[in-house]
Each structure stands twice: as structure tokens, then as C-alpha cells.
Structure 1
């Protein structure tokens, strides 16, 4: 029976329920004795792709939210809070939340779907989540609700379980009825088989059991004793430790070599082909499993983005939907579970800081909110939001443009004269709606005008020079809808 047939037979056993996924027959490292339901785990290529997806997702922060109109807020329902605590910390006394997510991710791809049971306390709140080692059968009760009939395992008793008691995650491929997930390991059985065969071949080669250097020939008749002695000589010379030793045979035995060599097999390319085929099946870029033969700085960076957007995001949505199904089945339809994908950026300090900076200056975050994300204590005044003075708001109904900083909230009025004094009487030198940036520019303009006045005195030529210097200020004020008189400002500068 081939590997594909063995996997398919094992899959039928799993769907009958009651199979202990974690059991092994014989020695763990014995390829022939192992349970072939775990064959995918013995394939370096398949195992590497599984972990490339499961490990990043298991590191993401988990939170339970609810909708308050169009806003997303932290869920306050006791049921949602209890479920969130389990997902963030420990599913049960033997399994952390990160281990639980890794188990779901790996199991669903190997078996096609993964199930976990939610245990409730006397108060009706979730108190534990237990992995289900088998696959329950699914039916519908008289009310149209799904019922999961399970054969039981070491942590879950046999019986019927409702939708609110079962977390169900499926692989990306579904069967023809659209209900059950298909095993990616089963569909990639050929690649897994080749990967296992290559590993076994290397093992035999190292032990001197699988090489094919040639054959022995002799013209003499070998008796039983001579033949046995020849066999013992061959056994004694196998393995890496005996490589390079010279063999001496009697009875006219001489060695004939074959034309085939290890180079002709091209095993490295075969391994690479198996890995690439497995990567395609599991939607994992080759560089994520350290296949860097065609890697460059630019395509690795782009591949990481593609991996996050096209592989991890869909997997993340599948997990969120499965966890949220418990909330929805319990009647909390406004609540949902969210995995924070921003957690994947925690390893890049520069990108994280750049994102925070943009968020603060755009008014999305305040400094204390950013400090909370970095587990830092808040500081006094850090709850204030920043807003650029260069921005304006547009009324969506009238189209009227309003400066972001107005006379009521301007903290830095435009200084008059040479910048040493400020006006508050509404005169031309008072920039009630101007920010610090324009105040600095005006101060420089006023300095230049006053220096010319002190050097040349008041004249038509001086007035023309001052008008040209202050013309940009007049245009800026006109664009912002601020009253500004150039001649009055010149008089103020002269008299300042």
C-alpha cells in the first residue's frame, strides 16, 4: 500500500471518531513502525511550512471586542471577558493560548480540520478549552442547530455537544459538500512520500546500506565458507567510519564499478523540488523555510509582505471566525475575537517607531496610547492629541474651508514689529489664526524691513522694498481667510 493510500485510509478512520491523534506505534524514530497518520510531521519540507505559519500566528496578541455603533471597544460582557482571558493566557492547565493556536493551525492542515471543546463553569462562563483528538460527526437537531456527536478522548467525554461548545477550524480546501475541510497532507502525499524517501536514502547511505558502488566478480568456484567470509568482510566495511579503507579479497574476487554516481542522482535538486511543491500547497514563500537559493534583499522583503498579506491574514481570519463562533452561538452577536496583526511588527523597532510617529502627528494616537503599546508608564500631558497647524477642515455640506487653528485655540499669535511684542487688538500685526511657523517667517520679514528702514530711512523706494518682502505673508493670509493689511504692518514695523 502506497503512502497516499495509507493516508486516505487513516483519514477515514479519523472521520469515524475516537482516534487518538497523538499516539504512536513502535519507536518514534522508526520510519516503518510509525503511525502513518503522522507522516507529514516526518517530512522536513511539510513540517517547516506548517511551523512557518503556526508560529507567527501564535505570537499575536488576542483580544475580544464589541461594536458600539461604528466604534470598536473592548468587550465588557463577562462571557466575552472570560473567553478572552482563556485565549490570551492558558486554554487549560496543560496548554497555553499560544500552544493552542499552534495546535489548531498544524492539525487543520494535516487532518483537514481541527476541533476544540469549550468547558463551562457553574456560572455559565468559559473556564477551559480542550483539544479534541478525534473528529466528531455532525448532525442537526429539531431546531436546526448543529450537534457534534463525539466518541470521546482523555479530556472530553463521549456525547453530543452544541455549537457554543465546539471550536471548529477547517483547512483552506473544503470537500464537495462544503462542510468538511480536506487534508493538505493527504493532497500532498506524493511530495511527503518523496521527502521521507530522500531522508531514508540519506540514512542508508551514511550507514553504508544504500550505496550502489558496483559488484564483485570471480572466475573461481566459491564454497560456502568462502562466500560467508566474503559477506562478513563486506559487512565489516560499511558506514562512514570505514570510508576510505582498502578492501582485500581472496579467491580471485575483483571489483566492478557502475556508471551511476551520487552526482547523477542530483539529490539536492530533488529535495528543492519537493520543498517548492510543498510551499505551493501550504502557500508559504520559500524564504520563510530558509530556501534562499534565489533570494535577494528586495524579493525577500516583498516575499515577507506577500506572506503576511496573502497567507497569514486569511489564516488569521479563519481563526478569528472560529473563536468568534462561540460568542455568536452563545448570543453575543456584537462581540468578536481579533488577533492583532500589528504584533508581527514587534520585531522591527524602526518600523514600529515610524508608524507610531505618523500616528501621533496625524492625530490617530496620543503619546500615552503609544507608550501603553510599548508597556511603558504614561506621563502627565501625554493624553493630548497633536494636530498639524498646516491642515484645514472642509465642511462636507457647504464646502467651506476652516483653518485647523483658529483665534480661539491659537497659542502662538503672530508677533508684531520686530517680534519682541505681540498685539491683541485685532490690528494688522495680530495673526489670531496664524501658527508658530508663520510667526517665525513674519519675524524674519519684519527684521529685514526694519534693517532697511534703519539703514536707508523712509522713502518710496523703501516702501516698495517692504511691500515686496511682505507680499508672501499677504498671500498666505488671504489663502487662510485672515485679514491682513501690508501698509499697516509696515507702519507697525517702523514704529516698533
Structure 2
């Protein structure tokens, strides 16, 4: 029996972790009456904004392959085959930005991101292509190896054609998993928070219906006498004063009066509900509200701090998740690794940066060229002191303080002469 057949020769007792069967119970109608899926959730403006901020934020970061040297220092490995794929173009159809934006979009909506690894005859990685996470099943064979079952071009997942399924081994798939319960697959944030998103969608639908009716509540026609045919009177009133005629002037006869009904207070609060759900959805994705257009509690003094916290506590964990998955599945063990550069996002205003550079320069852990590289400026030639590290002249180790004092005093023998 070959290695391939031995891998997929499963039995009833073999462990299995099926994504579709695990997640199916989470989706469907919510308590607010809305059907929430990954695709319908993107029609909600708050969800779309959060996904866009995170996907574009990670995709826009420089991603480099580094190599550790013998001295322990790292340098960019621009000659490594993966450098071009990750930094510029993972395949002939996509740029690195589009590729990472697509996978990050999958991570945020489905909780998993998959990419097929294309290798040449020698096993070298030649291209990476995104795979739709809702078409992927993750399973474990009898020998403990993971394998991936991908369904191509289908309309109904439950009625899929078995001949359209492709089995991929673990070394043929780049799998970045989000937060999950077993460490194997991530769970969809949309599925986990479907009721909060469904409430936001219901409030939006209610507002659309409310304004479709000209935001005007109904009313009551009061007649001094008994109306023999109230249904005919109601239809006659609607025909004359509803729809395109809703602003026509009404002429009431036979002593009738019209009383307009006010909006119930609980229904009039739907705008506040929508604002609260905006914060609720931003909380799901851990995105500061000001990044999705909610500036109600943002001020000039705190908006910069919120942006820095977004990089440290929201974007950075996603970067680590990406880096470790790529290192483990594409680079393997060795002295090569990938890393996102978030220094540009962590920079504060001009004055704060200059003060920080001054401290580093005066204490000897930043050179002029180190600072110029952080500011995207050309380096100063080494023979002109660009790589020199300086310290303040009056800062000496305590044990040398006495020697410095003696060396600065005049020689007594010279004074006697």
C-alpha cells in the first residue's frame, strides 16, 4: 500500500475535524429575525468597515523574509525564493497586497484562511493561490496526518458533486487559523456574534421601512356619527392621501377630524440602538470606533493614543498569527523567518519622534543612519560618521569617576616648577 493510500485509508474510529459540520449549527436565523452569514453580514456598514480596516491595515504592512547571520544579527534575505512571493506577488494574478487582503478578509469572516501551495518538481514553492474557506473541510486521517478536502465550483454545498472534490495534503495548503477551541480550525466571528450583528441589521431594516413610509406614522379619522362603511372610508382616504399624494391638502366633511399618531418612544430610539450596535460590532473586531467613522467620543488628545493601541492590541496579534503560520508551514526549521514591519504605524507625531530619536542618539543606541532609515532618508556615508554611536561626555561608569577627576587636575610637579 502506498503512502498516499495509507494516509486516506481511514476507518470509523479515525479522528476527524470537519469544519462545515462543526460550524453549521451556528448559522441561521437570529433572535432579531435576520439571517446572518458571512456574506449577508458584509452588507452591514459596521461589519464592512471593521473588516476593511483590518484587512487593508495588514495588507499594507511591509512583509520581509529575514535571515539570522552567524553574529546573531538579522538581514533581509532578498535572494530567498519566498521573498518575492510574499513581498511582491504570490502568483501571476495577484499582488502581495491583494493576496493578503483576501486572506485576511477570510480570516475575519470565516475564522480561517487557506492558500494552495504550488511547488515545482524539486519541492520549491512557486506560487500561492487563495482558497475559499467555506469550500474547505479539515480532516485527520487514521495515521494522525491532516488533510484538506476542497470543493470546486458548486452552488449547493450540501448537494456537492463528489467528483469536484480535491484532496490536498498538509504540505500543499497554507492554513492560518483564527481563534478556536481545538487549535486546529478557527471559529467564525460572524457566527459567534450573529445575534449582535442581526440586531444591527434589524435596526437598519426597520429604519429603511420607516423612511420608505415617509417617516410618517398613521392616524385616526374621527367621525361624530356612526360610520356605516368604515372600510370604504379608510380606502378612500388612503387613495387620496398616501403614496405620491401624501402631502396633499385634506378636506374633511361631515364634522370629521384627523388625529395623527405619535411615534412610540421605544420605536423612536432605533437610532440610539443603531449607534450602540456600532460600538458592539467594533468590540467584536477590537477596532477603535473612530476608525469606522464614529467620532462621538474621540478627541484630539486621545485619538492618537487609540490609533497606537489599535496597532499594539489589534493589528499586532494578527501579524504574529500570520508570521508563525508562514514560518511553520512555508519556511520550516532553519535560520529564515518572516516579519511584518509595523514601525511606520507606531510612529507618533513629529515632535514625539524627534524627542525619542534624541534620547536614543544621546544614549548611544541609535546612530544617525539608524534614525535616517526610520525616517526613510538616505544614509550618511560611514566615513562621515553616519554609523557612529555617541554618548554624552559627562556620562561615565561610577568606577571611572575618580580617574576622570585625577586626569583633569594639573600636575603638582609642574606647579612647583
TM bin, normalised by shorter chain, reads: 0.7 to 0.9
Aligned positions of 1:389-408 closer than 5 A: 389-390=392-393, 401=399
CA distance in 2, matches of 1:268, 1:236: 25
Say whether 1:43 aligns with 2:50: no
Say whether 1:314 aligns with 2:238: no
Say whether 1:220 aligns with 2:227: yes
SS of 2:65 mapped into structure 1: strand
The corresponding residue for 2:239 is 232
TM-score by length of 1: 0.64
CA change 1:15–1:186 in 2 (3 A) is closer
The corresponding residue for 1:113 is 112
Say whether 1:139 aligns with 2:139: yes
Aligned positions of 1:91-130 closer than 5 A: 91-122=90-121, 124-130=123-129
CA change 1:83–1:214 in 2 (3 A) is farther
How far the C-alpha of 1:65 sits from its partner, in A, is 1.7
CA distance in 1, matches of 2:374, 2:270: 48
* Larger-gyration structure (1/2): 1
TM-score by length of 2: 0.75
CA distance in 1, matches of 2:122, 2:78: 13
What is the CA RMSD across the aligned residues, in angstroms?
3.8
Contiguous gaps of at least 5 residues in structure 2:
1-18, 25-32, 155-163
How far the C-alpha of 1:342 sits from its partner, in A, is 0.5
CA distance in 2, matches of 1:309, 1:485: 52
How far the C-alpha of 1:63 sits from its partner, in A, is 0.9
- Asked whether the equivalents of residues 62 and 88 of structure 1 are also in contact (C-alpha less than 8 Å), the reply is yes
CA distance in 1, matches of 2:73, 2:112: 30
CA distance in 2, matches of 1:149, 1:287: 41
CA distance in 2, matches of 1:169, 1:354: 39
- Asked whether the equivalents of residues 62 and 340 of structure 2 are also in contact (C-alpha less than 8 Å), the reply is yes
Say whether 1:205 aligns with 2:210: yes
CA distance in 1, matches of 2:371, 2:303: 29
How far the C-alpha of 1:285 sits from its partner, in A, is 2.7
Higher RCO (C-alpha under 8 Å, 6+ residues apart): 2
CA distance in 1, matches of 2:349, 2:56: 17
CA distance in 2, matches of 1:263, 1:141: 55
The corresponding residue for 1:368 is 369
Deviations 1:389-409 (A, max 9, x none): 437676xxxxx946xxxxxxx
The corresponding residue for 1:195 is 200
The corresponding residue for 1:377 is 378
How far the C-alpha of 1:373 sits from its partner, in A, is 4.4
Q: How many residues align?
A: 377
Deviations 1:227-283 (A, max 9, x none): 654333243347xxx6x5534466876423224357862233212221222222222
Aligned positions of 1:139-158 closer than 5 A: 139-140=139-140, 144-153=144-153, 158=165
Aligned positions of 1:64-463 closer than 5 A: 64-68=65-69, 71-74=72-75, 76=77, 81-122=80-121, 124-134=123-133, 135-140=135-140, 144-153=144-153, 158-172=165-179, 174-175=180-181, 177-208=182-213, 211-218=216-223, 219-222=226-229, 228-237=235-244, 245-248=248-251, 254-261=257-264, 265-328=268-331, 331-345=332-346, 348-380=349-381, 381-390=384-393, 401=399
CA distance in 1, matches of 2:230, 2:268: 37
CA change 1:37–1:280 in 2 (3 A) is closer
Deviations 1:345-383 (A, max 9, x none): 468444444444444444434333443444443333254
SS of 2:242 mapped into structure 1: helix
CA change 1:115–1:217 in 2 (3 A) is farther
- Asked whether the equivalents of residues 115 and 131 of structure 2 are also in contact (C-alpha less than 8 Å), the reply is yes
CA distance in 2, matches of 1:355, 1:389: 16
- Asked whether the equivalents of residues 111 and 178 of structure 2 are also in contact (C-alpha less than 8 Å), the reply is yes
